[in-house]
């Protein structure tokens, strides 16, 4: 990017300012609501990922892989996370990414889709590096490939984007629920239905293999070197990347379409929708808040019986898979939308308080904070560093979550007081535009 030309001088592109309609947006042109919601989501995503940072892959889906999993306090933390965090923060990020695609397209019209595609290409490379070197639970690569597909729908109106996104998301959720129900049904009913015996035995053997792999993973991440751990991820976790296109189709792309629609409706700008077509029958802000609260309450009410079912039966493996990964996909959509509306409405008021300012700063640096927490948690849990891998229960993990939150809230605002962008945001912009932008203010 900053190479020498044939005469030994810097490439001219590095010293030229980008066209006005293609330059990265500065602080004065940002939408406060987008940054505020990103700040909330990047803190929430740490809570959602803390088990994956600190325990083998199996523990992310199955609570009994953690110490003290059946203690009342640990069950309560699991249930709270299941109701309020899991899937919701990832959903908010997908909405915001979709909104960002439209915002970027509006501000870079002169360069068209190629600039967007180059931007997504570099994000995919960042995501792969993050996956293999820091944390196998990466979402950056997923968002990059989903974003490429979402660009195909930029020409649709806000109402069509919203309708398509919702219907698409619901259909994906029904598919997921059906796919996860068959193993759960066999687990629950094999004793009374002889035709399920062979299938249940196959499932039990497969689960035993997963438990054996989890023990091997724990040993590697407790005792192995960093190189050993990267090699383990490359061998055992790389197949997860093959699931990304399916997850993109089922969840991420439709949520991005919904986010694109909400941006065009003016939700994140705190204004009425632009254009007559979008404005027709659009609710006023008070009605929107009422519907948003209804969505949040409905999301909790609909998933609470599922969470209690898994918790009160002590988390049978395949029932827990159905409850965690299958059934809640459709049911949490009202809550994701409700949270987006409520946080967008709260953002202008929160921006004047200490916590709101810190969350907005964390949101402006969401890319750096997301990857930075992976580095921090690696230093806390890997055996060659903090050495806590596989040892803490859910209650104890709350301390690690609080540490990550404190770091994000503490460093983001002072950094942005001295620099224009977060470090990774700056790198991403320079690579996307193939130009070096000033970093210091």
Q: Which residue has the higher pLDDT, 23 or 263?
A: 263
Domain membership flag for residue 11 = no
Query: At 2, is the pLDDT very low, low, confident or very high (cuts 50, 70, 90)?
Result: very low
Query: At 107, is the pLDDT very low, low, confident or very high (cuts 50, 70, 90)?
Result: confident
Q: What is the mean pLDDT of the chain?
A: 90
Domain membership flag for residue 6 = no
Q: Give the side-chain half-sphere CA count within 13 A for 294.
A: 6
Query: Per-residue pLDDT averaged across 261-273, rounded?
Result: 77
Domain membership flag for residue 12 = no
Query: At 18, is the pLDDT very low, low, confident or very high (cuts 50, 70, 90)?
Result: very low
Domain membership flag for residue 201 = yes
Domain membership flag for residue 361 = yes
- As a three-state string, the secondary structure of the chain is CCCECCCCCECHHHCCCCCCCCCCCCHHHCCHHHHHHHHHHHHHHHHHHHHHHHCCHHHHHCHHHCCCCCCHHHHHHHHHHHHHCCCHHHHHHHHHHHHHHHHHHHHCHHHHHHHHHHHHHHHHHHHHHHHHHCCCCCCHHHHHHHHHHHHHHCCCCHHHHHHHHHHHHHHHHHHHHHHHHHHHHHHHHCCCCHHHHHHHHHHHHHHHHHHHHHHHHHHHHHHCCHHHHHHHHHHHHHHHHHHHHHHHHHHHHHHHHHHHHHHHCCHHHCCCCCCHHHHCCCCCHHHHHHHHHHHHHHHHHHHHHHHHHHHHCCCCHHHHHHHHHHCHHHHCHHHHHHHHHHHHHHHHHHCCCHHHHHHHHHHHCHHHHHHHHHHHHHHHHCCCCCCCCCCCCHHHHHHHHHHHHHHHHHHHHHHHHHECCCHHHHHHHHHHHCCCCCCEC
Instruction: Give me the domain span that covers residue 34.
Output: 17-433
pLDDT, tens digit, 9 for 90 and up, residues 176-220: 999 999 999 999 999 889 989 999 999 999 999 999 999 999 999
CA-based nearest residue to 336, from 252, 429, 436: 252
> Above 50 in pLDDT, residue 281?
no
Domain membership flag for residue 224 = yes
Scored b (16 or more CB within 10 A) or e, 101-112 reads bbbbbeebeebe
Which of 136-140, 245-249, 284-288, 300-304 is predicted with the least confidence, judged by mean pLDDT? 284-288
The pLDDT of residue 1 is 40
Scored b (16 or more CB within 10 A) or e, 168-192 reads bbeebbeebbeebbebbbbbbebee
Asked if 84 contacts 92 with a C-beta cutoff of 8 angstroms, the reply is no
Domain membership flag for residue 389 = yes
CA-based nearest residue to 336, from 264, 259, 401: 259
pLDDT, tens digit, 9 for 90 and up, residues 347-391: 999 999 999 999 999 999 999 999 999 999 999 999 999 999 999
Domain membership flag for residue 440 = no
Domain count of the fold of the chain: 1
Query: Per-residue pLDDT averaged across 66-95, rounded?
Result: 96
The pLDDT of residue 399 is 98
> Above 80 in pLDDT, residue 420?
yes
Query: Per-residue pLDDT averaged across 385-411, rounded?
Result: 97
The pLDDT of residue 410 is 96
pLDDT, tens digit, 9 for 90 and up, residues 39-68: 999 999 999 999 999 999 999 999 999 999
pLDDT, tens digit, 9 for 90 and up, residues 134-146: 999 999 999 999 9
The pLDDT of residue 277 is 47
Query: Per-residue pLDDT averaged across 222-227, rounded?
Result: 97
pLDDT, tens digit, 9 for 90 and up, residues 291-346: 999 999 999 999 999 999 999 999 999 999 999 999 999 999 999 999 999 999 99
% residues pLDDT > 90 (the chain): 83
Q: Which residue has the higher pLDDT, 10 or 266?
A: 266
Sign, Cα dihedral of 149, 151, 155, 161: positive
């Amino acid at each position: 990017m900053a190479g020498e030309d044939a005469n030994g001088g810097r490439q001219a592109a590095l010293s030229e300012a980008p066209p006005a309609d293609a330059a990265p947006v500065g602080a004065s042109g940002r939408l406060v609501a987008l940054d505020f919601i990103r700040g909330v989501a990047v803190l929430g995503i740490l809570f959602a990922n803390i088990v994956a940072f600190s325990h083998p892959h199996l523990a992310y889906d199955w609570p009994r892989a953690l110490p003290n999993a059946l203690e009342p306090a640990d069950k309560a933390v699991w249930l709270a996370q299941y109701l309020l965090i899991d899937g919701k923060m990832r959903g908010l990020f997908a909405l915001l990414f979709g909104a960002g695609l439209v915002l970027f397209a509006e501000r870079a019209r002169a360069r068209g889709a190629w600039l967007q595609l180059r931007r997504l290409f570099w994000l995919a490379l960042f995501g792969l590096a993050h996956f293999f070197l820091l944390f196998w639970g990466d979402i950056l690569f997923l968002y990059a490939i989903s974003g490429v597909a979402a660009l195909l729908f930029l020409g649709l109106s806000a109402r069509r984007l919203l309708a398509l996104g919702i219907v698409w998301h619901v259909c994906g959720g029904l598919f997921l629920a059906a796919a996860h129900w068959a193993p759960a049904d066999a687990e629950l009913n094999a004793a009374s239905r002889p035709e399920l015996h062979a299938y249940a035995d196959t499932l039990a053997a497969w689960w035993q293999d997963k438990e054996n792999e989890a023990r091997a993973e724990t040993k590697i991440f407790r005792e192995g070197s960093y190189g050993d751990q990267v090699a383990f991820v490359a061998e055992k976790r790389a197949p997860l990347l093959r699931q990304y296109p399916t997850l993109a189709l089922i969840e991420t792309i439709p949520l991005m379409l919904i986010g694109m629609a909400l941006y065009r409706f003016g939700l994140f700008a705190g204004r009425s929708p632009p254009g007559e077509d979008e404005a027709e029958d659009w609710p006023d802000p008070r009605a929107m808040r009422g519907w948003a609260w209804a969505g949040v309450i409905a999301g909790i009410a609909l998933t609470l019986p599922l969470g209690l079912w898994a918790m009160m039966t002590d988390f049978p493996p395949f029932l827990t898979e159905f409850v965690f990964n299958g059934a809640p996909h459709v049911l949490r959509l009202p809550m994701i939308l409700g949270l987006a509306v409520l946080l967008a409405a709260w953002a202008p008021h929160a921006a004047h308080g200490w916590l709101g300012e810190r969350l907005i700063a964390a949101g402006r640096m969401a890319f750096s904070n997301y990857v930075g927490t992976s580095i921090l948690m690696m230093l806390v849990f890997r055996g060659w560093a903090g050495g806590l891998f596989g040892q803490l229960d859910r209650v104890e993990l709350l301390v690690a979550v609080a540490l990550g939150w404190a770091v994000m809230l503490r460093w983001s605002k002072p950094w942005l007081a001295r620099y224009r962008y977060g470090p990774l945001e700056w790198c991403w912009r320079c690579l996307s535009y193939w130009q070096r932008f000033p970093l210091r203010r």
